[in-house]
Structure 1
Amino acid sequence: MLELARGVSQWAHGFKNAIIFLFNTGEEEGLNGAHSFISQHPWSDSIRIAIDLEAMGIGGKSSIFQAGPDPWAIEKFALVAKYPSAQIISQDIFTSGAIKSATDFQVYKELAGLSGLDFAFADNTAVYHTKNDKLSLLKPGSLQHLGENMLAFLFHSATSPSLPKGNDMESNIKSNQDTAIYFDILGTYKVTFRQQIANMLYNSVILQSLLIWITSVVMGGFSAALSLALSCFSIVLMWICSVSFASVVALVIPLVTYSPVPYISSPWLVAGLFGAPALLGAFLGQHVGYRLLVLYLSRTSGGRRGLPANLQANVAKLDAERWLYKSGLLQWLVLLVVGNYYKIGSTYLALAWLMSPAFAYGLLEATLSPVRLPRPLKIATLLIGLFVPFLLTSGLVIRLTATIIGTSVRFVRNPGTTPEWLQNVIVAMFIAAAVCLTLVYLLSYIHLSGAKVPVIITTGILFALSLAVVWSGVVPPFTEDTARAVNAVHVVDATGMHDLSGGKHEPTSYISLFSTTPGILEKETNIIGEEFVCGRDRYLDFVTFYVNYSCWTDKSAETGWKKSDIPIIHVEKDTKGEMRETQVLIDTRVSTRWSLGINMKEIEDFQMEDADGSEELIPQGEKSSVDGWHTIQFAGGKKSPTKFKFSLFWFKNSTQTTPNNLLLRLRTDVDRITPPMRSVLEKLPAWCSLFGKSTSPYTLTFLMSLPISI
């Protein structure tokens, strides 16, 4: 951004519009910097478009993964960007909720009503939020790619007299009805068109396709209808077998390898581990449908009864081959209808996979004899027909697969709660879906060729070699640069130690090691030593998340902290009755970063003030909750206050009085490496990287709670 500001400043005298460079913080704590600018800064009312520069990795092209709602920015970017990279399928995935995350762009769009662009790097996402997310690994070419595109776009925007109307709601409502569909071709050319044009094109293709299908089935009669049903059945078998074969491998991998995700540092392994069985399953499933089709068509040869028996058999096989091909067209037609109905931006892929292969098929049917079919010419024509959809899809599938694999290192939000095989199954199912969607046409022409046995042997060898590689450990699952995400925390558990108990319970202290990556930690703890014990015996509630599986050691854990560091939850006043109100004073002591959970099943509302009640920090009003808890995260500087006053207003008919139920849960974090923690960190294997996010504790944390029965 500094380099962009330097470049822009040299030409700013000719600008019609100003450019504001916003360097903000607090994004991981809840998009605080962007929210503060939009809600408090006087310049926020003058903003017309917003550009957000994000990063989910440390390299690759800086791609647009969100745009709009007004199409002006994405259309102008396509016009001036030198090396455009943008795929609307990323926006579809992000806005669907499949990725539990948000960016500053959400604030600009939803709070301020602005339109714009959201960029991100996405290569090697395994380093995201780890200590390995460092400058030395950032690829200079990625910065150059972003800089050249953005500089051209900023110059164009600053000199343009026709910017969108900023936070004009009427304009945004109109733009929502006319959003842009966008995608790039090999990162050199960007295609954009409006949703209105897409609707017209999709509806036209859908109506024509339905007309052709209905006409062909009506003219073919019962035989054509049953042939269509059998070909569709082959598609179903293809999906079932492909997903099943790949998923079985996903379930087996954790049983035969140390790491349930052994392909993190070498993503190419998934081609053999999951791609090979998915392809084999797709072929075998479709082949069963093919054999049923041949059997049926051989018995209903119709007007070809005058042909010799061997020729009738060959014609039946050719007819079955064509029906399988047409079932692939029908598969993509269904996806086109669904995508068009729900206005999914990436529906253009279904259009490409339907129209281009359909044109190739129509050309073959119109020019070649169904009996004497020159196979080389047929294969060449089909490959030409598949060139465009493969061009649009291949790079996209590779990038999405790499992104899914990269997220495996931080896949588990609550360690120990997710089955070890789950991430494998997700990757396997995605690859199986890609195989069934993109290879459906080619698979239909293997059944008659001599490639059946080579396909089976090749996929089997590829799978066996990949499995042998991960089983033997020749290729390690993690490396120093692509590391396993772990948290090492010195925990002081003082739950139950509030003022009403008289301090009867002494706090417990231990070093805890847990991971957001699936798999056990015994290999790591064996290297560290320090008398670690692993298992599910200690349930850790860190307020923002919890841990069911961890490794812990009590060795020297009583050093490095003092009882005066333990936070205090003091009940100042508890007025019981029909409208119960409890006033609580919380002193976080040495910590200016803390998380507090409030039980919203018991508390209807609350108010937060500073210690003397002179400033209201959180007013009364409607409060949100997740799983019955409202969570407050606070992160301040060295001079931030540490004492806060809470007024808790109970529900009128609150009846829960079990001592084990909690009213408040508090975690305070201290950025301090204690002597026992230093010993653990020094011995931490090179393939492990500390995971740091707003919800993650610091290396020293104190846990405190207040029971309901105060």
Structure 2
Amino acid sequence: MTVNYLLDQIEQIRTESKTGPHSITVDVQRPTGSFSIDFLGGFTSYYDRVTNIAVKLEPKTKAQHFMLANCHFDSVANSPGASDDAVSCSVMLEVLHSLANLSTPLKHGVVFLFNGAEENILQASHGFITQHPWAQQVRAFVNLEAAGVGGKEVVFQTGPENPWLVQAYVRAAVHPFASVVGQEVFQSGVIPSDTDFRIYRDFGNIPGIDLAFIENGFIYHTKYDTPERIHTDSIQRAGDNILSVLKHLLMSDELADSSAYRHGNMVFFDLLGVTVVAYPARVGTIINYMAAVATVIYLGKKCMLTSNAGGRYMRDLACAACVAVLSWFVTLLTVLIVALLVTLAGRSMFWYSHFYAAVCLYGSVAVGKILLIHTLAKNLYYGVSHGTKYTTHSLARHHKHRNTLLSQTKLIRSDKSSSSFSVVVVGN
């Protein structure tokens, strides 16, 4: 039913755009194959006649290089899969409709892939990228996914390398939203990616952008992932971004020879969801080295002070570092204890459905412990140290003031024969 529905919608778009400058070719692929994947301990996945609907949109003069836009129309058992990933299929259909009806022909072509076996460990995307003849012309891809229901779609993974893709997203996206943290985690291998991104990256050797809805994660992959839970503004936002980014890439020079721009990674993050900052990773490395050198020079100058001052400064610095590390350790331990208590109370996943309550709970515990450790350190170490210095300094001033008064008193007494008054010195 899903395949027939998608084919019907695509045929309507093709009929409507026949007189335009673009042509649409549709192919239903049913690949069979197998592949090994290092996921959950590693295993070999076999698939037989899974379904792919591939739609090629290109100028009527024909294109040599293609972008790939990917989504999947299957869902996990017992879930309607509205967010994961039917909404992405809807967005891709509308983007296909918009691009097909442009009055100006695109410079490159685009393949829209509606794959039918992603939840069964990424099988259909493997069948396309390793067996379909159009895959040889694909130079980059955009993958539409979900790890939640609705909200903003975030760019959480890009590459490998090819910084021009991130730059294209930053320049073209109408409502950019991205974070390099997800990329660092996924590509480090600590948490393996389980989206079609890894198939295109590992088996197709092509770079891409991975986007996903991330809000309301507690509904994801459940029976509550229904259409009415997805706000229309989320769909509009995703459509605006995908359409703008694809149009930019399909008119770019980099797509024709993406391998020439395959150098280095990018650091990218959004500022309060308003804009995205992106710069080459090598710039970040330079900044880090400059900060480290400046720190070493500053500490070196402090150590070159007089022996007492330099030594005192280094002791204070070492104590401050120990206090910071101790506060982090105690905070982590306390938060783990709180998490254990929450788990014993049978509410181990409450943070997923009550995010801000979890932030207040764990955040208040963390902040409280950090303030406690620093306050104790101030009172026990810095308070005593600074108190001693203050007392010594005060005594010195007291003795100096006392000696001055005594000298003045002696001077007055030496000339008391000519004085008609007496001097009374009152001191502490």
Q: Output the TM-score relative to the length of structure 2.
A: 0.66
Which of 203, 206, 214 is 1:122 aligned to?
214
The residue aligned with 2:238 is: 146
Q: CA deviation at 1:12?
A: 6.6
Which piece of structure 1 moves more, 7-16 or 145-154?
7-16
The residue aligned with 1:283 is: 371
Please list, as runs of the form range in 1=range in 2, the aligned pairs for 1:384-399 lying within 5 A after superposition. Answer: none
For residues 237 and 397 of structure 2, the distance between their equivalents in structure 1, rounded to whole angstroms, comes to: 64
Deviation digits for residues 400-427 of structure 1, max 9, x if unmatched? xxxxxxxxxxxxxxxxxxxxxxxxxxxx
- Summarize the Cα distance change of 1:251–1:258 in structure 2 as closer, same or farther, 3 Å threshold: closer
The residue aligned with 1:159 is: 251
Does structure 2 conserve the Cα–Cα contact (< 8 Å) formed by 1:55 and 1:120? yes
Which of 269, 272, 284 is 1:198 aligned to?
284
Does structure 2 conserve the Cα–Cα contact (< 8 Å) formed by 1:57 and 1:123? yes
The residue aligned with 1:188 is: 274
The residue aligned with 2:125 is: 34
SS at match of 1:233: helix
Please list, as runs of the form range in 1=range in 2, the aligned pairs for 1:287-686 lying within 5 A after superposition. Answer: 287-291=375-379, 292-300=381-389, 304=393
- Summarize the Cα distance change of 1:218–1:60 in structure 2 as closer, same or farther, 3 Å threshold: farther
The residue aligned with 2:201 is: 109
Structure 2 residue 373 is matched with structure 1 residue 260 = no
For residues 396 and 240 of structure 2, the distance between their equivalents in structure 1, rounded to whole angstroms, comes to: 67
SS at match of 2:383: helix
Higher relative contact order (CA 8 A, sep 6+): 2
Please list, as runs of the form range in 1=range in 2, the aligned pairs for 1:91-110 lying within 5 A after superposition. Answer: 91-110=183-202
Does structure 1 conserve the Cα–Cα contact (< 8 Å) formed by 2:216 and 2:353? no
Deviation digits for residues 544-599 of structure 1, max 9, x if unmatched? xxxxxxxxxxxxxxxxxxxxxxxxxxxxxxxxxxxxxxxxxxxxxxxxxxxxxxxx
For residues 132 and 30 of structure 1, the distance between their equivalents in structure 2, rounded to whole angstroms, comes to: 22
Q: CA deviation at 1:13?
A: 4.5
- Summarize the Cα distance change of 1:262–1:119 in structure 2 as closer, same or farther, 3 Å threshold: closer
The residue aligned with 1:243 is: 332
Which of 214, 228, 231 is 2:317 aligned to?
228
The residue aligned with 2:84 is: none
Which of 301, 325, 344 is 1:215 aligned to?
301
Does structure 1 conserve the Cα–Cα contact (< 8 Å) formed by 2:323 and 2:377? yes
Q: CA deviation at 1:241?
A: 2.5
- Summarize the Cα distance change of 1:214–1:20 in structure 2 as closer, same or farther, 3 Å threshold: same
For residues 81 and 259 of structure 1, the distance between their equivalents in structure 2, rounded to whole angstroms, comes to: 39
- Summarize the Cα distance change of 1:199–1:278 in structure 2 as closer, same or farther, 3 Å threshold: closer
Q: CA deviation at 1:36?
A: 0.8
- Summarize the Cα distance change of 1:263–1:157 in structure 2 as closer, same or farther, 3 Å threshold: closer
Q: List, as ranges, runs of 4+ consecutive aligned residues in structure 1 with deviation greater than 4 Å.
A: 300-309
For residues 267 and 124 of structure 1, the distance between their equivalents in structure 2, rounded to whole angstroms, comes to: 9
Q: CA deviation at 1:59?
A: 1.5
Deviation digits for residues 155-213 of structure 1, max 9, x if unmatched? 111122332635x4xx47x52xx211111212222211112222222211221122112
Does structure 1 conserve the Cα–Cα contact (< 8 Å) formed by 2:164 and 2:254? no
For residues 169 and 269 of structure 2, the distance between their equivalents in structure 1, rounded to whole angstroms, comes to: 12
For residues 308 and 83 of structure 1, the distance between their equivalents in structure 2, rounded to whole angstroms, comes to: 65
The code of the aligned residue for 2:203 comes to: L
The residue aligned with 1:136 is: 228
Q: CA deviation at 1:17?
A: 0.1
Q: CA deviation at 1:50?
A: 0.8
The residue aligned with 1:683 is: none
Q: CA deviation at 1:263?
A: 4.2
Which piece of structure 1 moves more, 233-242 or 116-125?
233-242
- Summarize the Cα distance change of 1:183–1:271 in structure 2 as closer, same or farther, 3 Å threshold: closer
The residue aligned with 2:155 is: 64
For residues 260 and 117 of structure 1, the distance between their equivalents in structure 2, rounded to whole angstroms, comes to: 33
Aligned residues: percent identity? 27
The code of the aligned residue for 2:375 comes to: H
Q: CA deviation at 1:6?
A: 0.7
Please list, as runs of the form range in 1=range in 2, the aligned pairs for 1:160-175 lying within 5 A after superposition. Answer: 160-163=252-255, 165-166=257-258, 168=259, 171=260, 174-175=262-263
The code of the aligned residue for 1:209 comes to: T
For residues 56 and 268 of structure 1, the distance between their equivalents in structure 2, rounded to whole angstroms, comes to: 18
Structure 2 residue 91 is matched with structure 1 residue 3 = no
Higher CA-based Rg = 2
User: Which structure's residues are more often helix, by fraction?
Assistant: 2
SS at match of 2:155: strand
- Summarize the Cα distance change of 1:222–1:163 in structure 2 as closer, same or farther, 3 Å threshold: same
SS at match of 2:298: helix
Deviation digits for residues 262-296 of structure 1, max 9, x if unmatched? 44432222234322222211111111222212222
For residues 213 and 321 of structure 2, the distance between their equivalents in structure 1, rounded to whole angstroms, comes to: 40
For residues 227 and 217 of structure 2, the distance between their equivalents in structure 1, rounded to whole angstroms, comes to: 14
Please provide the CA RMSD for this pair: 2.3
Deviation digits for residues 623-660 of structure 1, max 9, x if unmatched? xxxxxxxxxxxxxxxxxxxxxxxxxxxxxxxxxxxxxx
SS at match of 1:22: strand
For residues 277 and 88 of structure 1, the distance between their equivalents in structure 2, rounded to whole angstroms, comes to: 27
Q: CA deviation at 1:62?
A: 0.9
For residues 164 and 207 of structure 1, the distance between their equivalents in structure 2, rounded to whole angstroms, comes to: 42
Does structure 2 conserve the Cα–Cα contact (< 8 Å) formed by 1:74 and 1:180? yes
Structure 2 gaps, min length 5: 1-91, 399-428
Deviation digits for residues 360-403 of structure 1, max 9, x if unmatched? xxxxxxxxxxxxxxxxxxxxxxxxxxxxxxxxxxxxxxxxxxxx
Which of 127, 133, 140 is 1:49 aligned to?
140
SS at match of 1:14: coil
Q: State how many pairs are aligned.
A: 302
SS at match of 2:353: coil
For residues 281 and 359 of structure 2, the distance between their equivalents in structure 1, rounded to whole angstroms, comes to: 35
Which of 78, 82, 96 is 2:170 aligned to?
78
The residue aligned with 1:578 is: none
Which piece of structure 1 moves more, 3-12 or 242-251?
242-251
- Summarize the Cα distance change of 1:97–1:12 in structure 2 as closer, same or farther, 3 Å threshold: farther
The code of the aligned residue for 2:98 comes to: G
Does structure 2 conserve the Cα–Cα contact (< 8 Å) formed by 1:67 and 1:117? yes
For residues 305 and 218 of structure 1, the distance between their equivalents in structure 2, rounded to whole angstroms, comes to: 28
For residues 292 and 392 of structure 2, the distance between their equivalents in structure 1, rounded to whole angstroms, comes to: 31
For residues 179 and 347 of structure 2, the distance between their equivalents in structure 1, rounded to whole angstroms, comes to: 33
SS at match of 1:43: helix
Does structure 2 conserve the Cα–Cα contact (< 8 Å) formed by 1:242 and 1:285? no
The code of the aligned residue for 1:241 comes to: V
SS at match of 2:109: coil
The code of the aligned residue for 2:384 comes to: L
- Summarize the Cα distance change of 1:307–1:252 in structure 2 as closer, same or farther, 3 Å threshold: farther
Structure 1 gaps, min length 5: 310-710
The code of the aligned residue for 1:41 comes to: H
SS at match of 1:230: helix
- Summarize the Cα distance change of 1:308–1:147 in structure 2 as closer, same or farther, 3 Å threshold: farther
